[in-house]
Chains A and B, each alone.
Chain A
């Protein structure tokens, strides 16, 4: 396959370039043609926002103070999201690879491009089998699109190999929740944070990755809550929290086990709840017997006194809310970490009641909805199991196909690249995914991309991965289409269209249907719009755990969102899970949890060290994460000038004790090196990180990419990669790296 020959010329033509407000967007006297109520296009908080539209261009925003979740609040990304439209880098037509063109791409008529894609899919599947063509999707797509792409893979392409970038995000929490509760959704609406006596935050840089949640946490504190934060870094919320547990990366489950140990020895377990509503406590109690405070302190690196204090506050509280995010989930034992957290929640008995809550903080915009309706390799719509015959039959009936024709479970997103590398997968369609930046050990990803026979990317900007594509199809921006997404609380909300697609670009669902048509298999791909897709999705999800059948666009507008499950049109939705009497198709009245006996499961959460622990050669721990002004692989946010300016380039965060040993000063170039690669960035010398740990944000591509360093070790259950810890060594760089001459957003 062709390699990326001249990235500089490609960048010149397709960006990333930085957009700033100008023209109508800078004038202060513009009367918008209309103001559209919609949501932010970025993270899982999905803040309500109003976009001002003039002359088919989003020219600004106005806070949407009526939307109850954020009441007008926005983070800097939400404030500047309007600058992504009418962008000079916007793909306005289809392209094909052309090594004779200086940019590497030549324009192509849309119909011809679709024809080329269909022809390539046919050729590859005929020669190598249906599964040789894979589909990679994203959790920023609306639920309608996610549903349609899942159906497209299973019904039109008949490939098992579809997976999505939620694999990098939500899967550990999802797997843990399913094992413990039988359902994968935040158990509570965010308003349950407010009356909590203790708010426990593990592995979540709330201030930067879920900024709006900060207000809920602080408001709980105004009401008297104690805030416990577990993190290797003193994040902005950790600075003033009541108790800070500076955990060593990758040791979260040990901490939870140690806390449970203390809860048991001090009699802080809600025996009644445990007996009535759970199973499996004895085995877990037996397991945590060994997790004495001393051992916990030794493994986690948290002072014993702090562990005891945390256990006491948690154990004796009357109400509480525990939340976690990627910090405990991005591990080769991410599911174990999540189960450890759930165990202390179940032991406290504080769930399913007002002020008693538990949730994972969803990362991506539709991280929740995107994983429920069939773009995950092992799931069918309604969070149904693709290997369950009953589930297959239901979905096949809705789709009008034979259950036997549906493929089985495919492999996860990373495994898809391993299969590409091995030659088992020869063709790829990607949408809303930038694995060259976002997957760990991404030098491997680059090599794999070059082995593909055919790669088609659908996107609105030419992201770094799409530079390897044979055909690029111009998709739609968030504001160019309508549909639903499910935000962090499990609230299904409505994205509204503000502007029309420019040029040859079109809504992604149209592109998918056009490909199906060109393949000669249009059956089931002739929807006239998102509403029609949503109606079929409702039917497909009916009776499943993630039941959307009672949700309508109108009801969403009326109620400011509808919490699923919502099994009928007269059902108001389910803001809080696990309340007695709430709708539950699995337990059917036997109990609050989503198992036939209605009881939650304690699971033994075993501690294992990270896949790659420190040693003499690589004596430090590397952890990665986000900054507030950037989002994921930066395809959008690295194109928004004011956001780039806020935090232009990645820096290696390190403690002065470590910096002293390396003779490094703030701002010096430092090379971080792991067994997979190296990366030279400027140092950020701060006392707000453990001295044995360094942190690099991952939003940048190429030689600035933190994921050159990260390890592709995955959790055996969820298959999430271990972004949050690997062994690294540092040295002061002799000179500035080659990438120092690039613009900050490029790499």
Chain B
């Protein structure tokens, strides 16, 4: 425990410090840092610590560690790197951008996830740089018609205040909320109606994240409504509500379902592991001879199981380890082993013996 945890703490402190430094530098010694957002900043710093801690702890689990190491190894393998990069782009588009695998699990599920995901991505891209003071908007001196976008303190693009672009940019969080809210509604509806989901869902794991996202989106929209149409009615109160929702979400990031956002990229690595492992050779079952997995994965699993303390070693001439038996044979062996106990308990069965030669007279044979 001690070793893994202290390593994780060290990494956590390190990433938190790095982010803090980046905030200071990126906001030009806090010149562009909005003090009103300091709560968000500290919540983010805490989240980064927590996420790093959990991530490092996760990476130290034997299967994850091996998979992590092997994943980079096969990805960076010079012989395949170019092809891997091509696959990577395609996988990012298919898996990340379009969530194709969720589409196949169910349309409703896909719609919910895709809307929430893109809503959150959009919101994160807008919010974090603003909070950290990495991006800010300013009007050129004497010009009330245009905005200049400053990134890390450097002026970049300029656009008119009254233009469509300005409208789109300054309502970015509105658009994000309008993606997230329907997504949350669909997900909630599914969770409340679907018997299968109902059986296994937990409040903290499955409902709380949806409630938090909903709270952020709705309070955010109310802020917009307040200053756009209601002359700032209850704006301060709403701002506090919104801040509470966001900060709770940030604090919750390392613990709950949101953590999958950081774990998930591992999915991209599976294809490389399988493809390149396959090129290195397939494992044939020690019992039936059928190929059933890549040899690399079987050897890795044997290694992982050893490290986890399993002793599936066999003293068998044909196989050194139970891992070399395919799943189908394992299922059959269980039944045969149980059947053997019953055969010996009940005594041997009468086995009728026939010879086709004795069953047909000679002239019947053809």
Contacts and interface: CB of A to CB of B under 8 A. Distances in A.
Interface of A: 27-29, 240, 242-244, 246, 301-303, 305-306, 309, 614-616, 619, 655, 657-658, 661, 690-692, 729
Given A29-B195, A615-B364, A244 B355 contact: no
B366 A619 contact: yes
A690 B363 contact: no
A616 B364 contact: yes
Contacts of B352: 244, 246, 302-303, 306
Nearest to A658: B356
A619 B356 contact: no
Contacts of B346: 242
A619 B193 CA distance: 63
Contacts of A28: 194-197
A523 B356 CA distance: 64
A305 B350 CA distance: 10
B349 interface: yes
Contact of A243 (B195, B350, B364): B350
Contacts of B350: 243-244, 303, 305-306, 309
A690 B353 CA distance: 9
Interface in B177-217: 190, 193-197
A653 to B, nearest CB: 15
A655 B356 contact: yes
B354 interface: yes
Contacts of B364: 614-616, 619
A657 B366 contact: no
Contact of A619 (B190, B196, B354, B365): B365
Contact of B360 (A27, A305, A692): A692
22 contacts: A240-B342, A240-B349, A242-B346, A243-B350, A244-B349, A244-B352, A303-B350, A306-B350, A614-B364, A616-B363, A616-B364, A619-B360, A655-B354, A655-B356, A657-B354, A657-B355, A658-B356, A690-B354, A691-B355, A691-B359, A692-B354, A692-B360
Interface in B311-366: 342, 346, 349-350, 352, 354-356, 359-360, 363-366
Contacts of A692: 354, 356, 359-360
Contact of B354 (A309, A614, A691, A729): A691
B26 to A, nearest CB: 47
Nearest to A241: B349
Contacts of B360: 614, 619, 692
Contacts of B342: 240
A657 B349 CA distance: 22
Given A616-B363, A616-B364, A29 B194 contact: yes
A28 B105 CA distance: 13
Contacts of B356: 655, 657-658, 661, 691-692
A17 B276 CA distance: 43
Contacts of B365: 619
Contacts of A243: 350
A302 B350 CA distance: 12
A309 B366 CA distance: 36
Contacts of B355: 657, 691
Nearest to A655: B356
A690 B352 CA distance: 10
Interface centre among A28, A242, A309 (most CB of B within 10 A): A28
B124 to A, nearest CB: 32
Given A243-B350, A246-B352, 16 more contacts: A28-B194, A29-B190, A244-B350, A301-B359, A302-B352, A303-B350, A303-B352, A309-B350, A616-B364, A616-B366, A658-B356, A690-B354, A691-B354, A691-B356, A692-B354, A692-B359
A27 B193 CA distance: 10
A242 to B, nearest CB: 8
Nearest to B351: A244
Contacts of B359: 301, 690-692
Contacts of A29: 190, 193-196
A730 to B, nearest CB: 10
Contacts of A242: 346, 349
Nearest to B194: A29
Contacts of A302: 352
